[in-house]
Amino acid sequence: MIKLILLLAIFGLMMCNDSSKSVNWDDMTELIIYKTQEEKFDELSADEMAKIEFVKVNLAEAKQILQKAQLSNGKMYLWKGQFWAKASFANGETSLIRISRYGGFFYNDSNKSTYSFQDSAESSRWQSMISKTLGTGEIIR
């Protein structure tokens, strides 16, 4: 019984510690959005992903907006479609990101966390940036 209580306490502490899930968006060197809404995009190989067209996001604007994103701490969201993006960082790491089409939230696959914008103006800025990028960005293959 004591072991069970101890295990539950440790698990609770692990769940409360979100500092390991934070991302320093200032270290981002590139953000691209793939021109696909493929459901299982995250299961594609690197070679398959390389064949898909993408657009580059304005890095300064993306950093400014993403600094306002907050961990959703277990809040559930309804996915009604998504865009896929990849963030590259100064340390060489990359994160595959699933961006909601409608809700102003996104999922970072590298740390298995959902982020959202508490401020509706920032949520609108985020969604506008994504739409503008997909609509007017130079397509790269």
User: pLDDT tens digits, the chain, 141 residues: what are they?
Assistant: 554 443 344 444 344 444 456 789 999 999 999 988 788 888 888 899 889 999 999 999 999 999 999 998 878 887 788 889 999 999 999 999 999 987 789 999 989 999 999 888 999 999 889 988 888 766 665
7 located within any domain: no
Q: Is residue 18 part of a domain?
A: no
Specify if 72 maps to a domain: yes
Residue with tokens 């907006």: 65
Structural domain containing residue 33? 23-140
Check residue 79 and give its pLDDT: 79
Report the domain count for the chain: 1
Do residues 81 and 106 make contact, with C-beta atoms less than 8 angstroms apart?
Answer: no
17 within a domain of the structure (yes/no): no
Residue 47 lies in a domain: yes
Cβ atoms of 115 and 104 within 8 Å: the answer is no
How many Cα atoms sit within 13 Å of 124 on the Cβ side? 3
Answer whether residue 78 is part of any domain: yes
In a domain, 6, yes or no: no
Residue 10 is assigned to a structural domain of this protein: no
